[in-house]
Amino acid sequence: SQQGEEDPQALSIQEGENATMNCSYKTSINNLQWYRQNSGRGLVHLILIRSNEREKHSGRLRVTLDTSKKSSSLLITASRAADTASYFCATGTASKLTFGTGTRLQVTL
Amino acid sequence: EAGVAQSPRYKIIEKRQSVAFWCNPISGHATLYWYQQILGQGPKLLIQFQNNGVVDDSQLPKDRFSAERLKGVDSTLKIQPAKLEDSAVYLCASSFGTGADQPQHFGDGTRLSIL
């Protein structure tokens, strides 16, 4: 079963705009991770945020976590065509990581 | 460092045939995962190894799927016999530690098509 559910399912923006993806989940977690998957490739780890953290940054990425609402968001600032990919949240318990359904991001020139 | 290696990249078989996939994780990574990713969905964990022991195989259809990691390094995943619903990408991943707070490193997967 898939714990996390991303919203929107698909997102199309122009280069230079910001992209925001949301992830909602159902049960308590220890951490939440975001991954990127380019077409035909494996997943690439982007960022991890622990349950006692509220916000984390990495380059053009900003992740927030609200454990009271059981939700997280991934913001990509100043998007580039190379950011075109599917983005997955993954919720971590003590021993298991469960991936969501993904958001497909298209960045056009 | 070299990434996670998987082979073959593509495989086409008929239903009821058998197929095997191979994975070589990143050197030094104790934990190895096999995932099934159906088109349009996120990866679903099939089995997790720590060294050569199974940590979690609760979602592995054991009547037709098997996996091994005999020497605690590379691993094979087998399907026998294959069904139409097994059409998917099979991803292998590895991580240095065993906890769910470890970033996982993925190979590019094997795309399996069942005719």
The CA distance from B37 to the nearest CA of chain A, in Å, is 10
Asked if A88 and B107 come within 8 Å (Cβ–Cβ), the reply is no
The CA distance from B10 to the nearest CA of chain A, in Å, is 11
Q: Residue A46: left if φ>0, alpha if ψ -120 to 50, beta else—which one?
A: alpha
- B41, B55, B57: which to substitute to probe chain A, counting the most A Cβ within 10 Å? B41
What pLDDT is attached to residue A65?
98
Which residues of chain B approach chain A closer than 8 Å at the C-beta? 4, 35, 40-45, 55-56, 91, 93, 98-101, 103-109
Q: How confident is the model at residue A2 (pLDDT cuts 50, 70, 90)?
A: low
Query: Cβ of A69: how many Cβ atoms within 10 Å?
Result: 9
Phi, psi of A18 (to 5 degrees): -90, 150
pLDDT surpasses 90 at B2? no
Q: Distance between CA B105 and CA B71 in Å, rounded? A: 20
Q: What letter does residue B64 receive in the DSSP assignment?
A: T
Are A80 and A107 contacting, i.e. CB atoms less than 8 angstroms apart?
Answer: yes
pLDDT, tens digit (0-9, with 9 covering 90-100), for A47-106: 999 999 999 999 999 999 999 999 999 999 999 999 999 999 999 988 889 999 999 999
Q: Distance between CA A23 and CA A89 in Å, rounded? A: 6
| Residue recorded with tokens 């037709």 | B64
pLDDT, tens digit (0-9, with 9 covering 90-100), for B50-87: 998 999 999 999 999 999 998 889 999 999 999 999 99
Are A28 and A47 contacting, i.e. CB atoms less than 8 angstroms apart?
Answer: no
Asked if B108 and A95 come within 8 Å (Cβ–Cβ), the reply is no
pLDDT surpasses 60 at A1? no
Who has greater pLDDT, A66 or B1? A66
Radius of gyration of chain A (CA): 13
Pair of tokens at residue B97? 């530690």
Between CA A85 and CA B36, with CA A45 as vertex, the angle to 5 degrees is: 75
The arithmetic mean of pLDDT across residues B39-43, rounded, is 94
pLDDT, tens digit (0-9, with 9 covering 90-100), for A8-60: 999 999 999 999 999 999 999 999 999 999 999 999 999 999 999 999 999 99
Asked if B107 and A50 come within 8 Å (Cβ–Cβ), the reply is no
Query: Cβ of A8: how many Cβ atoms within 10 Å?
Result: 12
Which of B42, B98, B105 is facing A88, going by the closest CB pair?
B42
Pair of tokens at residue A67? 């454990």
What pLDDT is attached to residue B70?
83
Q: Distance between CA A56 and CA B41 in Å, rounded? A: 26
AA letter at A8: P
Which of B56, B103, B106 is facing A42, going by the closest CB pair?
B106
Q: How confident is the model at residue B32 (pLDDT cuts 50, 70, 90)?
A: very high
Q: Report the share of chain B in percent with pLDDT over 70.
A: 100
What pLDDT is attached to residue B33?
97
Average pLDDT, chain B: 95
Residues in chain A closer than 8 A to B55 (CB atoms): 95
